[in-house]
Structure 1
């Protein structure tokens, strides 16, 4: 049986989707059969031996589709190797290497037994809704705070952990 990894994501404006695609590309390059899909489009985890779940952060909470995915599949996620990633700091704090997860995401990681959680800077799109987002865009402080080299390095570490003995059915 081929080892298949799901990279699922909750993304409203596409920034987190781009991070997920980067993770998927790295896992494929490492020889893992990998599917990258929006969290809302994954009805069943049966085809997957491991999961990377990502969510954009909005006011300290994961994007709705990522939260719903984690609730809908909580039992299956707890039985698979699982990694979580967040995309969200939209300011200079995104350049810190030790970005901490909001409490809700830390609790989720603990509840699901995630092997790791990492937070990366996000991108504030001019289409973003909400008063705070509009204020940031108008102030000229918005922008793209994603570090694709860091995302790639993290995904490479996930790929190294996905050895045959770690993957169910492998």
Structure 2
């Protein structure tokens, strides 16, 4: 593949954006041309040869911008290689075992014939917005559970599939 890969994401507090940037950096290190963009800002996907879509998990659902992106671009996404990722478990579960996609993401995978999915640990730190986040933090369940080595390994697998 000699075209451009889009890495797009839906995030509330930025943790998923950092994962998306890490994926993009890994793809670039493998010689691919990559653009990253918030899912709500992507006007079209027809100029991209492959797409990676990520969303933070909130109450068992993908971030609304990631869901809307997939709905809005479904016909075009189904015509190119697509990978999906989720971020959010605020524990070590994603590092300990492969977590299946939540129901809505699983449905999107089937509709788009996605080539793969990964769930990565999330991050919730003291400057997070919203009362649910503050409640989680007060209960002592915040922290950074992202594993950037696992993110890079997953992205390297994508690069291997896309490289000629």
Q: TM-score range by the shorter chain?
A: over 0.9
Counterpart-to-counterpart distance in 1, 2:68 and 2:136: 28
**Corresponding residue for residue 139 of structure 2:** 139
Query: In structure 2, how many angstroms separate the alpha carbons of the residues matched to 1:92 and 1:43?
Result: 35
> Aligned equivalents of 1:136 and 1:39: distance in 2?
26
Matched with 1:9 is 9
How many angstroms apart in 2 are the aligned matches of 1:95 and 1:153? Answer: 12
Q: Does 2:130 match 1:129? A: yes
Structure 2 equivalent of residue 52 of structure 1: 52
Q: Does 2:150 correspond to 1:150?
A: yes
Task: State the shift of 1:140 in Å.
Answer: 1.9
Instruction: Classify 1:31/1:92 alpha carbon distance in 2 versus 1 (closer, same or farther; 3 Å).
Output: closer
Aligned length: 163
Q: Using the TM superposition, give the Cα deviation of residue 121 of structure 1 relative to its aligned residue in structure 2, in angstroms.
A: 0.4
Counterparts of 2:131 and 2:71 in 1: how far apart (Å)?
Answer: 25
> Distance in 2 between the 1:116 and 1:2 partners?
21
**Partner SS, residue 136 of structure 2:** helix
Deviation of 1:4 (Å): 0.5
Deviation per CA, 1:20-60: give whole Å up to 9, x if none: 00000011111111001111111011210000000001011
**For each residue in 1:77-109, what CA deviation from the matched residue of structure 2 results, as whole angstroms up to 9, or x when unmatched?**
000000000001112323322112111111111
Structure-2 change in CA distance of 1:33 and 1:17 (3 Å): same
State the distance in 2 between where 1:96 and 1:151 align.
Answer: 14
Structure 1 stretches of 5 or more lacking a match? Answer: 165-170
User: Which 4+ runs in 1 deviate beyond 3 A?
Assistant: none
Name 2:98's counterpart in structure 1: 98
Q: CA RMSD in A?
A: 1.4
CA distance in 2, matches of 1:114, 1:94: 20
- Normalized against structure 1, the TM-score is what? 0.91
Structure 2 gap ranges (5+): none
**TM-score where L is the length of structure 2:** 0.94
